[in-house]
Amino acid sequence: MKTEIENLAGETPGIAYELVVHRLAGLDSSAPDAYIQSALHADERPGPAALHYLIPELVKAEAEGRLLGSVTLVPQANPVGAAQHLFSQHMGRFSSGNRTNFNRDFPIPDERGVRTLDQPSSAVFADRRLKSRLLELADNHPIVLDLHCDDEGVQYLYVPEPLWPEMSDLAACLDAQAAVLWSVGSDCAFEEAAFAQMRARAGDGNFAGLCATTVELRGQLDVDPVLARKDAQGLYRFLVMRGVIAADGSAPAQLSPEFVARPIANVEMVRAPVGGTILYHVAPGERVETGQLVAEIIVRPGEPDGAIAVHAPQSGFVLTRRMRRFIRMGDDLLKLVGDAASPSARIGALED
């Protein structure tokens, strides 16, 4: 394995960031290459934990001549966000310099298929230059995995519709419980930008063998050695199944019979009608029916009618819920993958 440390200049004198990139060389030029990054939202740590256990296995495969395709890994893809703390609280989702989500506004190809990237010397904020560099690193890899997590949630994937159901092998290897399928993007997240470049280069529309996805590794607090090893094993198994690593005799992974794959239009963003303390009555992974009580919000503790009930707008699968138990009116309370399209469905990202 070759490790490179790239320097990313900050916006003011004396400030710079380091981006660590690991490269492992495959032996077969016809085998698919893979790119994996994590912690683009810098306060989401299940990804780096999983790569902590995956990387030694890849190094071993390379040393033993079992690595067929090349692999590029960026375990901490956002050194800018990693440095952002306010009063001991890590602020890793949005850039404090320009209030932009670190996983939005990636450059994508125009109608001619031409994409314009910022250069290391471009006079723009560091987060913009970082986004361009991450896309450069991911280019020409038919497999691109962006490891994230939610607040509290099940293991699930965001998948471009043209790549489903072929990408169900990744869901099965990771023992995921759901996939959210999107067809039209508007927020230019990393996954969308990576797939847009793949689409621009696949002039014949042949997407066979391609994989571009955001992998949600459960919730922010799901960081421990047992889960990290499980995720690493799942990622390794997927690379074997896709031919990046030589076959080891493992049987193909199978999706759970309860696995849920639905269009993003079916996702209900259940919002808080009032502010207060959340009492959840359902957990991620549970199925609910229309009108079922999913949460109460305590507005006036101990008083008659001091809690407001929140009910499921339709039947479906509870995908995620908030980690913190104090909420404002209008904040997202939970994500429900409905059995039908949501009347309030919108194009693009589900959350800011």
Residues 273 and 198 in one domain: no
The answer to whether position 344 is within a domain reads no
Residues 146 and 248 in one domain: yes
The answer to whether position 343 is within a domain reads no
Residues 51 and 167 in one domain: yes
Domain containing residue 281: CATH number:
2.40.50.100
In the numeric block, the tokens 């040393």 are attached to: 63
Range of the domain at 304: 265-338
The answer to whether position 349 is within a domain reads no
352 residues of the chain, pLDDT tens digit each? 999 999 999 999 999 999 999 999 999 999 999 999 999 999 999 999 999 999 999 999 999 999 999 999 999 999 999 999 999 999 999 999 999 999 999 999 998 889 999 999 999 999 999 999 999 999 999 999 999 999 999 999 999 999 999 999 999 999 999 999 999 877 999 999 999 999 999 877 899 999 999 999 999 999 999 999 999 999 999 999 999 999 998 888 999 999 999 999 999 999 999 999 999 999 999 999 999 999 999 999 999 999 999 999 999 999 999 999 999 999 999 999 999 999 988 777 889 8
The answer to whether position 352 is within a domain reads no
- 104 - beta bridge partners? none
In the numeric block, the tokens 């039209």 are attached to: 184
Residues 47 and 132 in one domain: yes
- 242 - beta bridge partners? none
Residues 138 and 223 in one domain: yes
Residues 215 and 295 in one domain: no
Nearest to 40 by CA among 117, 123, 134: 134
The answer to whether position 350 is within a domain reads no
58/273 Cα distance (integer angstroms): 48
The answer to whether position 115 is within a domain reads yes
Residues 232 and 290 in one domain: no
Nearest to 236 by CA among 55, 33, 44, 25: 55
The answer to whether position 138 is within a domain reads yes
Compute CA 308 distance to the chain's CA centroid, rounded to the nearest angstrom.
Answer: 32
CA distances (Å), origin 252, targets 51, 113, 219, 243 = 22, 36, 27, 12
Residues 254 and 276 in one domain: no
Domains in the chain, number: 2
Residues 247 and 272 in one domain: no
First to last CA, the chain: 37
Whether the upstream peptide bond of residue 107 has omega within 30° of 0, thus cis, is: no
Which residue, of 258, 288, 317, is where some domain finishes?
Answer: 258
Residues 218 and 110 in one domain: yes
Residues 202 and 70 in one domain: yes
Contact 32, 143 (CB under 8 A): yes
Residues 170 and 311 in one domain: no
Residues 6+ apart with CB under 8 A from 72: 21, 22, 23, 24, 33, 34, 35, 36, 137, 138, 141
Nearest to 33 by CA among 157, 193, 159, 209: 209
133/56 Cα distance (integer angstroms): 25
- Going across the sheet that includes 276-280, the strands are 307-311, 293-298, 276-280, 326-327
Contact 220, 323 (CB under 8 A): yes
The answer to whether position 329 is within a domain reads yes
Which residue, of 198, 228, 258, is where some domain finishes?
Answer: 258
Q: State the pLDDT at residue 62.
A: 98
